[in-house]
Amino acid sequence: MVAAIIITTTTTTTITITAITTTMTDAYADEAERVQALLLAWFSPALPIGAFSYSHGLEMMCETGAIRDRATAFGAIEAALRHGAGWTDGVFIAHAHAAALAEDEATVDSLLALARALAPSRERWEEAVQQGTAFIAVTEAVWPGQTLLTEDTPIPLAIAVGVVGAAYNVPVVPLVQAHLSGFAANLVSAAVRLVPLGQTDGQRLTRDLGPVCAEIARESAAAPLSDAGGFTPGLDVASMHHEDQHVRLFRS
């Protein structure tokens, strides 16, 4: 049995959550296998949410020379994870997950508004809400009848991940870790193309960022909502300047 959550629009800013129960044939040997399969699918580079088209400001930092090798790429991505969107997403996923399980539509609604408000630039706002909308569309299409989320207002990716994860009974810490690992992998892929780095150095970056993702997942999943938000001025300013960058491969 899988608890599904239907979110329907009541106004442009308020949503209603209704919990339902759906029977699903489980082909996995145990619950751990089911959860692992979902996480591998949801955070695979093959999931069509357009993540590959965003650099999170790294493209501008490469143009200015702030990122020029593996060490500086690691510093920028680690900062995004520890002090920027990575940390904030972890907090939002955990709180959206808890609110969805509790069928607390008012809290989910306030989380949507806060997550949108904390985007530091237009491109970063689009990065979050376009991926979130796509994430919901894909989960509805591939796992029909399990999670239905329809909203007239933009849905940031972190809120979408938290609500969908709750609907499928995915534990919050593995959910956050998988999301952060996917986020880091996407930025590593951007750095491989932009710096450029070789594929081997890209894998070294992924290896070194793995423990960072695990640590942040544990800490952010237990953090109060007041800890949402970060301080990564270099990345944030780069994302603002990226809007006017003359030659661009990425959308942020």
The pLDDT tens digits for 162-197 are 999 999 999 999 999 999 999 999 999 999 999 999
Decide if 39 is inside a domain. Answer: yes
Give the model's confidence band at 144: pLDDT under 50 very low, under 70 low, under 90 confident, else very high. low
Give the model's confidence band at 204: pLDDT under 50 very low, under 70 low, under 90 confident, else very high. very high
d(C-alpha 37, C-alpha 181), whole Å: 15
Considering its fold, how many domains does the chain have in total? 1
Residue 18 host element (H or E): strand 15-22
Decide if 250 is inside a domain. Answer: no
Decide if 25 is inside a domain. Answer: no
Decide if 249 is inside a domain. Answer: no
Task: Pull the structure tokens for residue 106.
Answer: 């008012």
Q: Are 56 and 242 in contact (CB under 8 A)?
A: no
Does the structure show a pLDDT above 50 at 22?
A: no
Across residues 228-240, what is the average pLDDT?
93
Does the structure show a pLDDT above 50 at 25?
A: no
User: Helix, strand, or coil here: 67?
Assistant: coil
Q: If we measure between CA atoms, which residue out of 21, 150, 178, 214 comes closest to residue 93?
A: 178
The CA-atom distances, in angstroms, between 51 and each of 177, 182, 183, 225 are: 17, 9, 8, 26
Task: Pull the structure tokens for residue 205.
Answer: 């970056």
Q: If we measure between CA atoms, which residue out of 90, 66, 65 comes closest to residue 76?
A: 66
Q: Are 36 and 170 in contact (CB under 8 A)?
A: no
Q: If we measure between CA atoms, which residue out of 241, 245, 227, 251 comes closest to residue 114?
A: 227
Q: Are 231 and 99 in contact (CB under 8 A)?
A: no
Decide if 252 is inside a domain. Answer: no
Decide if 118 is inside a domain. Answer: yes
d(C-alpha 98, C-alpha 224), whole Å: 12
Provide the pLDDT for residue 21: 41
For the entire predicted model, the pTM comes to 0.90
Range of the domain at 138: 2-20+31-242
Does the structure show a pLDDT above 50 at 85?
A: yes
Decide if 251 is inside a domain. Answer: no
- Cite the DSSP H helix spans in the chain: 31-42, 58-64, 70-83, 85-101, 105-117, 122-142, 157-167, 172-194, 199-221, 233-242
Q: What single letter denotes the amino acid at residue 164?
A: V
Alpha carbon dihedral 183, 187, 192, 198, in 10-degree steps, equals -50
Q: If we measure between CA atoms, which residue out of 64, 94, 239 comes closest to residue 166?
A: 94
Does the structure show a pLDDT above 50 at 90?
A: yes
CATH number for the domain spanning 91: value is 1.10.4190.10
Condensed to tens digits (0 to 9), the pLDDT of residues 41-50 reads 999 999 999 9
More confident residue, 245 or 202: 202
Give the model's confidence band at 7: pLDDT under 50 very low, under 70 low, under 90 confident, else very high. low
Decide if 247 is inside a domain. Answer: no
d(C-alpha 237, C-alpha 96), whole Å: 28
